[in-house]
Structures are given as C-alpha cells and as structure tokens.
C-alpha cells in the first residue's frame, strides 16, 4: 500500500507501509553532499500559527499540536481505490480503551492525554522548540492537503486516527506527514486491539509511537542504525523511551538547542547567565551527549547548530584573578544511514570544529581565544588574568572554515582569585622599606 512521498509510517514487525518510499529517501540523500543530512532530515517548519513565516534552519520555533474531532475527514493518501478517505475515530478509540475525560469537553482530563502531552513536550525539552497544546479544532480535512494552523482555530500539528491494517502480525501503527504539514494518523486497530496500555511496556510502546510520529511532523525521515536504538528507526522498540542521541542532534540542527528560546543567547545582551563562580570552584553547562542512549529525563544538551549560530554565557567573579574556560565537544560514534540504505560510522563529537573566546566586562574586548585544535579535541583557555570583579563572557562558535553542522558541546568555567594585599601586609612591607610612596616635590 504505497504512500505519497511526504508520508512516513511506523511499523511493528518486519514490514511497514510506504516501503517503496525508502528508495526516494536513499536517492535524495546519496545525491546530497552536506554532512548536515546525517540525521536524515527533511523539511523543518518554515511557518507556524504562532511565529508566522520566514523561519529557517536553527530558528527557535513554537509549534502547536492538538486533536481533531471524531468525524473529521482524513484524506486518502494514495491512488483511488487504495487507502481511501475515511473519518477520524481516534478519540472514541482512546476513550473505549483507556477511559474518557473526567470533565466533559476537556481532553486534558483523560488518562491517555498525558501520553500525547509528554511525547510532544519532550521534543521541546531537548531543543529550541516550544510545543504548545491547542484545545480547539474546527474539523477541516486533515491529510495530504493540509490546512494551516490558526491560533484559536486549529493546531499546526493535528492528530486523528482510523482503521488501517489490523492489529496482528506485521502492521502499521501510525503515519505522519512532514512539515509544513504535521498531520499524525494513528491506526485505531492497535488502540482497540490491545497493543498499548498506560503502564509498563505497553505505555512505553504507546509513548514511543506518538513521539516517533511527532518527529516526522517536525522534519525527520526514517533512519537505520547498527544498534537499533534511535527513535526515528522504522520499527518500534521498547528498549528506550523518547528521543535518543541521533534524534536530539537532528532536532537541534533544525531548531537549535533549548537556550535559543525567548530570543536566544547569540549576543552579550541575551547571554545565558551561569551565575557567580567562586574561587576554586567551577560552573558547567552541556554535561550530556557522550552516549548514544539517552534517558527520558535528560535535558542538558547544548550545541552550535551551524555557521550562523553563536552562544554567549555570562559569569561573575568577585575579585581579580585567573579565569579558565574548557570547551569539550560531545558525542558518540555509531553507524547510521537512510532507511534501507548504506550505513556508515557517524562520529558525532567531530561533526564541526568549535572555538571559544573570553570577553571582558565591556562585552566587547576579547581577552583570550582557544581555537585551532581539530574537531573533537578540547579547546582550553588556561589561567587568563582578569583585573577585577565583574561579569565576563564566554563566546562559543564554529571555527572559520568548519563544516556547517550541529555540534554538541560542554562548557566549564573556573576561577582562582588573587586577593588584594591587606592593610596589615602593606604596613609590614612599608616598615621593611619594600613599599614606596611617591610624594609631591616641596615648593
């Protein structure tokens, strides 16, 4: 049962719908030269109900999501006679299986709502996305010809469901469209057929199906890896929960890291405030990213998402002394490639070469720079003297000539104070003839 080129299906077992489409994906990726497509990226959202148009790679973005009413038309996705137009019955299937809302008309009070809310929100926790639930939908057709999201009318990414191919054997669990269409269709056969639960393995299965489909709606094609431990692979896994390292790299390439929200941290005026660093102590950010397997609670992933991205961090010291900065590229190595295509090792701590600068309290003067090491090698500013108390800045960016790609990193700021001499010490030095004072000449 073939699908249109912007539809991606999630399967259970050894077969899945849309298998012919993998050929299109392979050809598209093999003809492209950019390493930025390592994460099997499709289009990202270029216009949303909240942000309007003109959105480009790396821009923080607000995307709304919500459910269509039962009875909403789901457009056919293939030639006449195949996968015909039907109507959504997702809400009734969910209510039948898990119980309906405890407050009439308020889907957020249903026990199953948290599965969808957590799945969509998780993408926002690890990226510059803000995933906002929209409780309203006017019931216009969903599917191949999308209707744009309108605030207060309908969401950008709309969720419905219909019977597709049963719930036994190798079968489709759901399918989704790429942006600027985020429509997500669940196979209600699996919801009614006992594939899912709200606890245990069944809950993990449901959450991963929803999160996987949302990933397509945010701009991912299928990938395959040697460890089968990435969310956007074409078959379901319950060995993990939520986006994994490859998925996080891809979502940050498309929408930046979480620090890009609310105006980002690209300038001194909008720098991320790390706080005060006491003498002998350190401040650290970007502590995660060295494992291909990611816990569902992990959030401290930061990155430079390409040549146009710059990250600034503000920190305060209480006296003169010595500042040290350490910039650690983060990542893991695993095989990755397009669905049914050729896999190759992806070394994700060497995707791009970064540099770091220490900037003075004026927000302009560069006091020290660490650059020149190869991609994947730590850059360090060691014991750079600062003349007094105040707020200083660390600026991270791609090295000139580096690959236009996303690179996870960690930043550590250290400080060692050099205290001013005390009045008692000055008096002692003076008595020993070691402190000299310049006096005015006699008239």
Do residue 322 and residue 418 come from a single domain?
Answer: yes
Residue 248 or residue 80, greater confidence: 248
Among the candidates 254, 287, 306, a domain finishes at: 254
> Within a domain: residue 443?
no
Mapped onto helix, strand or coil, the DSSP state of residue 124 is helix
Do residue 297 and residue 201 come from a single domain?
Answer: no
pLDDT band at 38 (very low <50, low <70, confident <90, very high): confident
Among the candidates 189, 222, 254, a domain finishes at: 254
- Domain span at residue 273? 268-423
Residue 426: pLDDT above 80? no
Q: How many domains does the chain have?
A: 2
Do residue 281 and residue 348 come from a single domain?
Answer: yes
CA–CA distance, 424 with 336 (Å, rounded to integer): 66
Residue 26: pLDDT above 50? no
How close are the terminal C-alpha atoms of the chain, in Å? 105
Residue 4: pLDDT above 60? no
Do residue 76 and residue 217 come from a single domain?
Answer: yes
pLDDT band at 225 (very low <50, low <70, confident <90, very high): confident
The CATH code of the domain that includes 163 is 3.40.390.10
> Within a domain: residue 240?
yes
* Residue 370 tokens, joined: 């660490």
The CATH code of the domain that includes 380 is 2.60.120.380
> Within a domain: residue 183?
yes
> Within a domain: residue 259?
no
> Within a domain: residue 263?
no
Do residue 339 and residue 204 come from a single domain?
Answer: no
Do residue 175 and residue 34 come from a single domain?
Answer: yes
- Is the previous residue joined to 117 through a cis bond, with omega within 30 degrees of 0? no
> Within a domain: residue 428?
no
pLDDT digits (tens, 9 = 90+) for 316-369: 999 999 999 999 999 999 999 999 889 999 999 999 999 999 999 999 999 999
Do residue 62 and residue 174 come from a single domain?
Answer: yes
pLDDT value of residue 10? 61
pLDDT band at 168 (very low <50, low <70, confident <90, very high): confident
| DSSP-assigned states of every residue in 390-418 | EEEEEEEEEPTT--SS-EEEEEEEEEEE-
Range 23-32, long-range pairs (CB < 8 A, 24+ positions)? 23/340, 25/221, 25/222, 25/338, 25/339, 25/341, 26/338, 26/339, 26/340, 26/341, 29/338, 29/341, 30/341, 30/342
When pLDDT is averaged across residues 229-245 and rounded to a whole number, the result is 93
* Residue 28 tokens, joined: 């598209």
Do residue 342 and residue 211 come from a single domain?
Answer: no
Do residue 279 and residue 325 come from a single domain?
Answer: yes
Do residue 306 and residue 360 come from a single domain?
Answer: yes
Do residue 35 and residue 180 come from a single domain?
Answer: yes
CA–CA distance, 434 with 102 (Å, rounded to integer): 82
How many DSSP H helices and E strands does the chain contain?
7, 21
Do residue 221 and residue 313 come from a single domain?
Answer: no
CA–CA distance, 28 with 3 (Å, rounded to integer): 17
Residues forming a β-bridge with 41: 220
Q: In what order do the strands lie in the sheet with 344-347?
A: 223-225, 333-338, 344-347
> Within a domain: residue 319?
yes
> Within a domain: residue 441?
no
Residue corresponding to tokens 């994906």: 25
CA angle 318, 320, 323 (to 5 degrees): 90
Task: Give, as one character, the DSSP assignment of residue 239.
Answer: S
């Amino acid at each position: 049962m073939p699908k249109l080129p912007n539809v991606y299906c999630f399967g259970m077992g050894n077969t899945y719908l849309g298998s012919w489409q993998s050929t299109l994906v392979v050809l598209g990726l093999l003809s492209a030269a950019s390493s930025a497509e390592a994460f099997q990226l499709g289009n990202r959202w270029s216009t949303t109900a909240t942000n309007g148009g003109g959105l480009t790679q790396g821009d923080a973005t607000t995307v709304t999501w919500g459910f269509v009413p039962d009875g909403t038309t789901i457009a056919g996705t293939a030639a006449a006679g195949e996968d015909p137009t039907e109507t959504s019955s997702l809400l009734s299937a969910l209510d039948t299986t898990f119980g309906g809302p405890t407050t009439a008309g308020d889907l957020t009070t249903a026990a199953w709502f948290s599965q969808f809310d957590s799945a969509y929100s998780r993408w926002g926790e690890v990226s510059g996305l803000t995933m906002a639930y929209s409780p309203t939908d006017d019931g216009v057709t969903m599917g191949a010809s999308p209707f744009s999201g309108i605030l207060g009318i309908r969401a950008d990414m709309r969720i419905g469901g219909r019977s597709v191919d049963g719930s036994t054997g190798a079968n489709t669990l759901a399918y989704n469209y790429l942006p600027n269409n985020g429509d997500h269709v669940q196979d209600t056969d699996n919801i009614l057929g006992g594939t899912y639960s709200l606890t245990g393995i069944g809950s993990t299965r449901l959450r991963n199906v929803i999160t996987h489909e949302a990933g397509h709606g945010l701009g991912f094609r299928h990938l395959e890896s040697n460890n089968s431990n990435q969310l956007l692979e074409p078959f379901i896994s319950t060995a993990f929960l939520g986006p994994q390292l490859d998925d996080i790299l891809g979502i940050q390439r498309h929408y930046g890291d979480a620090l890009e929200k609310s105006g980002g941290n690209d300038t001194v005026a909008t720098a991320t405030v790390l706080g005060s660093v006491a003498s002998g102590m350190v401040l650290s950010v970007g502590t995660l990213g060295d494992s291909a397997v990611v816990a569902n609670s992990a959030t401290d992933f930061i990155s430079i998402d390409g040549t146009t991205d710059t990250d600034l961090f503000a920190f305060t010291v209480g006296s003169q002394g010595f500042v040290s900065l350490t910039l650690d590229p983060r990542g893991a190595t695993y095989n990755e490639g397009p669905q049914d295509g050729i896999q190759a090792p992806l070394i994700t701590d060497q995707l791009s070469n970064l540099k770091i600068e220490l900037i003075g309290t004026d927000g302009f003067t560069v006091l020290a720079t660490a650059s020149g090491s190869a991609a994947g090698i730590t850059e360090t500013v060691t014991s750079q003297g600062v003349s007094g108390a105040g707020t200083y800045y660390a600026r991270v960016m791609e090295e000139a000539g580096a690959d236009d790609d996303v690179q996870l990193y960690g930043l550590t700021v250290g400080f060692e104070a050099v205290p001013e001499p005390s009045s008692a010490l000055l008096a002692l030095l003076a008595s020993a003839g070691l402190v000299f004072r310049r006096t005015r000449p006699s008239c």
